[in-house]
Amino acid sequence: MKIAIIGAGWAGMAAAVEATQAGHHAIVFEASSAIGGRARAVNGRLADGTPVTLDNGQHILIGAYTETLRLMHLVGVQAEVALLQRPMTLLFPDGLGLRFPAWPTPLDALAGIVAARGWSVADKWSLLRLATGWKLSGFRCDPATSVAALCQGLRPRVLAELIEPLCVSALNTPAGRASAQVFLRVMRDALFGVQGGSRLLLPRVDLSALFPQAAARWLTQRGGQIRLGTRVDSVFQQGSQWRVQEEVFDAVIFATSASASVRILENTEQVAPDSVANKIQQWVRITRALQFEAIATVYAWGSGVSLPYPMLTLRSNAATVTPSATPAPAQFVFDRGQLGGPQGLLAFVVSASTGERETLQAQVLTQAKQQLGLTLQAVQTIVEKRATFACTPGLLRPAQQIATGLVVCGDYVDGPYPATLEGAVRSAMAAVKAAIHSWPLPGQVRENTV
């Protein structure tokens, strides 16, 4: 098959690698001059003018990201070099919190809960009782349930120091309006799934080098193509095939953001036959109904600054701040000096962020002073306004396949995972399978209906 892939983010590059590995020819169209999408490297400067490579958002992986790790290995990325591996650790600056030992799954989680510092016996028992109930129910619940409702009965400290940070980091949606079913799927895979699923994998290289650039080299070495600076505005049906940029393909995989895919497909609908146009209209309607959350990463620097661990959990009141409280929006801080970057550079992550960039940056610097005892200089604050979809209970997500040979992938497309790198990669794999499955055998006639 000759497959067009629109978008060179993590989903697009994963789709290109998967299609090529299956023996097909992939051509990637990317409107910008860089690959990586919402998880890529950006150029910045420290306060003294020294150039530094940042990311457009601080990301982490976990051991349960099996397909992402598989594709990284396939394209030649050495995970043991590119990723700093640590047992699950959610420690606060005062040393309290949760740290798993390097034990087999799920004994690591059990031991970590029992040994949690600062938690009472009642705190630990409430979590163990609840987690046992999750496992007995097969990690399933009513789709309309929120994470906050799922965790009723948990002690307040466990809710504030474990559930809320995990929920907002995994789903980028506060617990009060986050989908319990999606949260349970993440918990199942991380705590009770593959061995080492809960391990933290912290990037030591920038996000472009972590996968997209290696995937691009791997792809071009095998005859694939990446056409940067090539904007696709619509695709056209041509018999049982599709025309993109005056070139004919057996299938088209949309791997752009939700808004970009909507734009291209709305233009495509205008020239598509009714059987396809109706499917596009339905897909666009569902996609337009999605709501999105922002993620902010505040980079700050201090001379000689170093954290006791590469990552610390912060006490955030982003979801519950009152008029009398000092805003503390960041949930996590990363020591980039321990992750391959310059010493003294920290990255503060504000999931589900709100407010103006300058205000948010000032609040985070104040939070660093209060919780870390550090006086820092702002380096750069990056806000991805549509970083992820709001992962709410009972959410209807757009389908993977629109018409025969017309497929969509991305972390927002229907699937079991929230908007994560693993969600994007798994969606890409499923999209390639759908495209290949729709390809007719010799002598068959393909119809553009689903």
Residue 225 has pLDDT above 80, yes or no: yes
> What pLDDT score was predicted for residue 320?
66
* Domain at 41-83+292-389, CATH class: alpha beta
User: How far apart are the C-alpha atoms of 87 and 199, rounded to whole Å?
Assistant: 5
Question: And the tokens for 111?
Answer: 């031991």
Residue 445 has pLDDT above 50, yes or no: no
pLDDT digits 0-9 by tens, 151-190? 998 999 999 999 998 999 899 999 999 999 999 999 999 8
> What pLDDT score was predicted for residue 194?
84
> What pLDDT score was predicted for residue 151?
96
Peptide bond into 106 cis (omega under 30): yes
**C-alpha angle with apex 58: 56 to 62, nearest 5 degrees?**
135
Residue 231 has pLDDT above 80, yes or no: yes
The side-by-side arrangement of strands in the sheet containing 292-301 is 311-313, 332-335, 345-353, 292-301, 377-389
Question: And the tokens for 209?
Answer: 């080098």
Report whether CATH 3.50.50.60 matches the domain 2-39+207-290+396-437: yes
Contact (Cβ atoms closer than 8 angstroms) between residue 253 and residue 3: yes
> In the chain, how many H helices and how many E strands?
15, 21
pLDDT, the chain, mean: 94
Q: What is the DSSP letter of 176?
A: G
Question: And the tokens for 278?
Answer: 């109706």
> What pLDDT score was predicted for residue 447?
46
Kindly state the average pLDDT of the residues 45-69: 94
Residue 448 has pLDDT above 80, yes or no: no
Kindly state the average pLDDT of the residues 59-70: 96
Question: And the tokens for 4?
Answer: 């067009």
Residue 446 has pLDDT above 70, yes or no: no
pTM: 0.94
How confident is residue 450, by pLDDT bands cut at 50, 70 and 90? very low
Parse the chain into domains and list their residue ranges: 2-39+207-290+396-437, 41-83+292-389, 93-196
> What pLDDT score was predicted for residue 442?
46
pLDDT digits 0-9 by tens, 120-163? 999 999 999 999 999 999 999 999 999 999 999 899 999 999 99
Kindly state the average pLDDT of the residues 10-16: 98
Element at 99 (helix H, strand E): strand 97-99
How confident is residue 409, by pLDDT bands cut at 50, 70 and 90? very high
User: How far apart are the C-alpha atoms of 11 and 5, rounded to whole Å?
Assistant: 10
Residue 391 has pLDDT above 90, yes or no: yes
Residue 441 has pLDDT above 70, yes or no: no
Give the chain's largest Cα–Cα span: 73
- Look at residues 244, 250, 286, 240 and name the one whose alpha carbon lies nearest to residue 267: 244
Residue 66 has pLDDT above 90, yes or no: yes
User: How far apart are the C-alpha atoms of 25 and 324, rounded to whole Å?
Assistant: 60
Kindly state the average pLDDT of the residues 416-440: 92
How confident is residue 85, by pLDDT bands cut at 50, 70 and 90? very high
Residue 28 CA from chain centroid, whole number: 21
Reading phi first (left if > 0) and then psi (alpha if -120 to 50, else beta), residue 30 is in beta
pLDDT digits 0-9 by tens, 265-305? 999 999 999 999 999 999 999 999 999 999 999 999 999 99
> What pLDDT score was predicted for residue 321?
54
Question: And the tokens for 193?
Answer: 């799934």
For the CA atoms of 117, 80, 51, 334, the dihedral, rounded to the nearest 10 degrees, stands at -10
> What pLDDT score was predicted for residue 322?
60
Alpha-carbon separation of residue 438 from 16, 182, 309, 349, 367 (angstroms): 17, 29, 49, 41, 53
pLDDT digits 0-9 by tens, 92-108? 999 999 999 999 999 99
Question: And the tokens for 302?
Answer: 């201090």
pLDDT digits 0-9 by tens, 348-364? 999 999 999 999 999 99
Place of tokens 């960039």: 357
User: How far apart are the C-alpha atoms of 111 and 242, rounded to whole Å?
Assistant: 55
- Look at residues 160, 217, 201, 175 and name the one whose alpha carbon lies nearest to residue 17: 217
